[in-house]
Structure 1
Amino acid sequence: MIAPTSDAIVQQPGGAPSAAGTLLLETKGLSKHYPGVDALVDVDFELRAGEVHALFGENGAGKSTLISILAGANTPTRGEIRFRGAPLVHADVGAARARGISAVFQEFSLVPQLTIAENLFLGDEPVRHGFLDRRNELKHARELLERLGFALDADRRVQELSRAEQQMVEIAKAFRGDLSVLILDEPTASLTERETESLFALIRQAKAKGVGIIYITHRMVELRRIADRVTVLRDGRKVGLVDAHAADEATLIQMMSGRPISQVFPKVNYAPGETLLSIERLTTADGAVRDVSLAVKAGEIVGIAGLVGCGKSEVARACYGLLPVAKGRVLFCGQDVTGWKTRRMLDAGFSYLPPDRHKEGLVLARSAIENTSLSALHLPQFSGNVFLKRKQEKDTVSRLADQLKLHPFDLQREMAAFSGGNQQKVLIAKMLTRDVKLFVFDEPTVGVDVSTRVAIYRLIADLCEAGAGVLLISSDLPEVLHLCNRAYVMFRGHVQVELQGNQITEDRVLSHFFERAA
């Protein structure tokens, strides 16, 4: 049934319910060649009615190329696509949607100046007596949002929405017509726990109606929760097909990266010293964090785990001056820093890496060298009395780019032209341009491939072993399990439990994810 490459580790589908569904979509020998690059090579793929078929692989593995072809946004160099048994050639995305094939890409296709309703019906606006029927459009948009369970005002402009709300609008667009195939590319990256659960409920409803769903994610927990089968891609080629319910993390990582999990997470030599960060009964003004106490010492990696929306990010943001504190204290290096502004915290040696590199971390229109040195330009190492020390800036950034294996190694290249993984490397390099005592990594590997993860994990271990304190906030449970010597688990703004050493197991952490411990 499957012809994997020689180094593949393959598990055949183990009787998942989807295996008996009608074949909806099939590719044979699908390939896409760009000058100097084979983005996709002879990929065979099939999607059945009523199944979630996940695509898994590193950045650059060919996932985005495959779904862009299936959604009509790209054309293959060679190969065949069959839809309901008949040959299929898309003219464009509109033609694919007319056949019931709809995609939600990572990069949104919304018009910021238009309302949600106008975006939902863009290109297919209701008309009455030859004129646009805005009242009817608004009515249908509200009905759609209500049916999907999205608490959005259909008359609101997209430019006023958060990224999570924009993600919901994109999802609503996909559900607007009669669906046969739904393609979702990292759909939960911007969603809270509640929004994610709403999306999963919609996916289950779509499956029950016979919709075939292609789902891209880097999160193992999502594969186990909603996927039926997983196709693994590496370097543009299909490595194998596995049953999502039987596949384990180690197998998937080795298939995806070509290396065992032991080579992904480094061994860390912890040497806990003085307490750097002490949080005492912290409550934020917005209520996202309530009565939280925790501590981080020099020479250790402390994790905060929990579902998206549990308040784990808000803890760090309140300490860093990004969220107002209502009650409690934040002590850093023995000093009360409660309510300090971000710049003051940064100068004190507290560095925070945000989860959204585009919105909060990088200036995409500027170069790698400018982004890396931006927060440290006022320091003596980069700034003279009148002019910037360009040579020192270039030497420092070059060293950091080499350390993090930036690719391509072009410091003048605009950030928008780098892959997501290399953008993340620049964001981390930005933290290393100054003296830092405590590094806070908030979802440091979101949307990056395994190779980049390995580099980030090694850096985190090196920082810890060099004597810095590290606070790791992650929705990716293996990161907490394999990197941390202590971990806090949060649920709905509260700390459920603190675990240490060999207490940090998957079962113990997950047991505190969903309800307060008795």
Structure 2
Amino acid sequence: MNMQTLVDTKELTKRYPGVLALNSVDFDLKSGEVHVLFGENGAGKSTLISMLAGANNPSSGKITLEGNDVQFHNVADAQEKGIYTVFQEFSLIPTLTVAQNIFLGWEPRKGPFLDHGTMRCRSVEMLKELGFDIESSAIVARLSRAQQQMVEITKAFHGDLKVLILDEPTASLTDKEVDHLFDFVLSLKARGVGIIYISHRIQEFSRIADRVTVLRDGAKIGTVDMTDTDDGALIEMMTGRAIDEIYPKIAHNPGAEVLDVRDLKTVGISDATFSLKAGEVLGVAGLVGSGKSRLFRTVMGLTTRLGGTVELCGKDISQATTAEIIRSGMYYLSPDRKEEGLDLAKTSDDNLSVNLVMGDKLPSSSCFVDWKSVSAEIAKISKHVELQDSYRRKPVSQLSGGNQQKVLFGKCFGQNAEVYIFDEPTVGVDMGTRAALYLLIKELAEAGKAVIVISSDLPEVMNLAHRLLVLAHGHITAELSGNEMTEEQVLKFFFDETGAKQ
């Protein structure tokens, strides 16, 4: 198949005062291909796509579209020329309906009035074609984040689409929704549309990518055909380190039992039984919707328990509130840092201070807060999680996903706990930041703390865990350890029909 070059950049460069964000990058996209941009946070991926999307202007270099030099004045200009971008941060208006958002800027009219009937009908057709089960009349604010992502993607399919740029498109989607998206991407490829795909989920590349371009520190490291490379080679290109340097070896010296869960039940979870010892890392794996997060939210008292018992260090906490469970010595890191984990309007220091003030780590002899001690401890924690001093007084909303996650991890060092539950601890962060966070998990476990890692990233849990629980449809289908923890063995228990307890 003769694939035409759709987009071509030559020596594309972007300078900010004191920062070279993109350094002389050559990049090309062909019709009917998925070209992945891969790199750590700050590598230049967002800078590159912002210029292709019309949201930013290059300092030097040029962009050609179908062989013609182009300059985009704004995002609408790029869209008119056939380039549409679905950014990681949504551009939806929450008070409008799905149909109104899909046709925002493309509204059909009847004379001087908006034709809402046509908008609704065409929105229904577009959503159905994509396989997205959403009501066109629904108010966007009432949709889940995954559904909002689907609406954002649907907005792209107006006019003569030549290039679709997807920035972390599957971050909020279930496995079934990811399958729908990939099926549609394949249909776009068949029509000759070129797709630029940005994701930290390296396991997706073998399913979707034709070529991968790796950026590091604003420069292009190289472009490879997906058929000629593997995960290890891509990670080494991205980080400059071999994959076995990413996952640390965590010593296994289990101590006394600290957590004992017996026959735990809640909506979607049946008779879950397991235990955890000090100095142990327990991995928890399963497909999206398997119940792996719900199980531990129930342990934390965040979801109503319908039966069973939970003991922490020999004390029954089954009836305890979440606040009481935290004070008893359990820490929970939420998978949704923006909604549950962090106060985005506050600074990193403010976020870190909450656990220190409310916790028991700092000595307290009066009803007054010793802010000098709090400030000193915040400085220690920031250094510990490798959060730069320049970021500490910025609103968390202005930090990258990786630095936000460092703040979230930092909060766990603001209190004394015996059990640390990390739910999707590296979601949306690059491999370099992951390596730093993995070392923090290693440190906790080797200091005698009990650690639970819940993750949809199978290599992550397999490389960090001493033991592994597998969940499917609300059941613990397997408990594996040692040589049993192979990818083939784990995947075998991902589905009910292969061994779930009924």
TM class, shorter-chain normalised?
Answer: over 0.9
Q: 1:10 matched to which residue of 2?
A: none
Report the AA paired with residue 356 of structure 1.
D
Give, in whole Å, the separation in 2 of the partners of 1:492 and 1:379.
Answer: 36
SS of the counterpart of 2:26?
strand
Task: Confirm whether residue 111 of structure 1 aligns to residue 105 of structure 2.
Answer: no
* 306, 316, 330: which one aligns with 1:336: 316
Aligned mates of 2:190, 2:472 — CA distance in 1:
31
CA contact (8 A) 1:298 1:467 kept: yes
Closer/same/farther in 2, CA of residues 279 and 206 from structure 1, 3 Å limit? farther
Contact 2:346–2:395 (CA under 8 A) maintained in structure 1? yes
Alignment of 1:78-477 (within 5 A): 78-285=60-267, 287=268, 289-379=269-359, 381=362, 385-477=366-458
Q: What per-residue deviation string (whole Å, max 9, x for no partner) do you get for residues 59-112 of structure 1?
A: 000111111111111111111211112112212111211222111111111112
Residues 281 and 293 in structure 1, CA contact (< 8 A), matched pair in contact too: yes
Q: Classify 1:157/1:461 alpha carbon distance in 2 versus 1 (closer, same or farther; 3 Å).
A: same
**Structure 1's 400 and 409: CA in aligned 2 closer, same or farther, altered over 3 A?**
farther
Matched, 1:70 2:46: no
CA contact (8 A) 1:311 1:493 kept: yes
Deviates more, 1:338-347 or 1:452-461: 338-347
**1:285-334 CA distance string (max 9 Å, x none):** 2x2x3333332211111111122232211111111112122333333223
Structure 2 gaps of 5+ residues are none
Mind listing any 5+ residue stretches in structure 1 that lack a counterpart?
1-16
Q: 1:379 to 1:351 in 2, by over 3 A?
A: closer
Q: Distance in 1 between matches of 2:41 and 2:221?
A: 15
- What whole-Å deviation, never above 9, does each CA across 1:394-420 have from its counterpart, x for those lacking one? 011110001111024453222122221
1:21 partner SS: coil
Post-superposition CA distance 1:432-467 (Å, at most 9, x none): 111111111111111112221121111100100000
Residue 22 of structure 1: how far off its partner (Å): 2.0
SS in 1 for 2:255: coil
For residues 419 and 383 of structure 1, do their structure 2 counterparts lie closer, same or farther at Cα, with a shift above 3 Å needed? farther
Distance in structure 1 (CA, Å) of the matches to 2:205 and 2:258: 37
Instruction: Answer yes or no: is the 8 Å Cα contact 1:400–1:429 preserved in 2.
Output: yes
Residue pair 2:359, 2:414 contacting (<8 A) in 1 also: no
Quote the RMSD (CA, aligned, Å): 1.8
1:14 alignment counterpart? none
SS of the aligned residue for 2:78 comes to helix
Deviation, structure 1 residue 173: 0.8
Q: Do 2:348 and 2:393's aligned partners in 1 also have CA atoms closer than 8 Å?
A: yes
The one-letter code of the counterpart of 1:487 is L
Instruction: Give the total of aligned pairs.
Output: 498
| Alpha carbons 2:250, 2:464 under 8 Å: kept | yes
Q: Residue type matched to 1:66 in 2?
A: L
1:401–1:409: 8 Å Cα contact kept in structure 2? no
Following the alignment from structure 2 to structure 1, what is the Cα–Cα distance between the partners of residues 438 and 344? 24
TM superposition shift of 1:427: 0.7
- The question of 1:61 aligning with 2:61 is answered no
Q: Is the 8 A contact 2:206 2:226 kept in 1?
A: yes
- Residue type of the alignment partner of 1:240: G
User: 1:120 is matched by which residue type in structure 2?
Assistant: I
Closer/same/farther in 2, CA of residues 208 and 513 from structure 1, 3 Å limit: farther
C-alpha distance in 2 between matches for 1:209 and 1:515: 37
Separation of aligned partners in 1, 2:295 and 2:228: 36
CA separation in 1, counterparts of 2:321 and 2:416?
18
Contact 1:58 1:256 in 2 (8 A): yes
Distance 2:82 2:458 in 1: 35
Q: Is the 8 A contact 1:278 1:294 kept in 2?
A: yes
DSSP 3-state at the match of 1:38 = strand
Structure 1 residue 386: Cα displacement: 4.3
In the alignment, the residues of structure 1 paired with residue 242 and residue 265 of structure 2 have an alpha-carbon distance, to the nearest angstrom, of: 42
TM-score normalised by structure 2 residue count = 0.95
- One-letter amino acid matched to 1:507: E
CA contact (8 A) 1:382 1:390 kept: no
Query: For the Cα contact (< 8 Å) 1:382–1:393, is it kept in 2?
Result: no
Cα separation, partners in 2 of 1:315 and 1:124, compared to 1, 3 Å: same
Aligned: 1:512 with 2:502: no
Distance (whole Å) between structure 2 residues aligned to residue 490 and residue 174 of structure 1: 36
User: Are residue 494 (structure 1) and residue 472 (structure 2) matched?
Assistant: no
Identity %: 48
Closer/same/farther in 2, CA of residues 290 and 174 from structure 1, 3 Å limit? farther
User: Partners of 2:270 and 2:491 in 1: how far apart?
Assistant: 21
Once residues 418 and 444 of structure 1 are traced to their aligned partners in structure 2, the CA distance between those partners, rounded to angstroms, is 17
Q: Is the deviation greater in 439-448 or in 381-390?
A: 381-390
Secondary structure, in 3 states, of the residue corresponding to 1:325? coil
Q: Retained in 2: the 8 A contact 1:377–1:383?
A: no
Within 2, Cα distance between the matches of 1:491 and 1:205? 31
Amino acid at match of 2:353: S
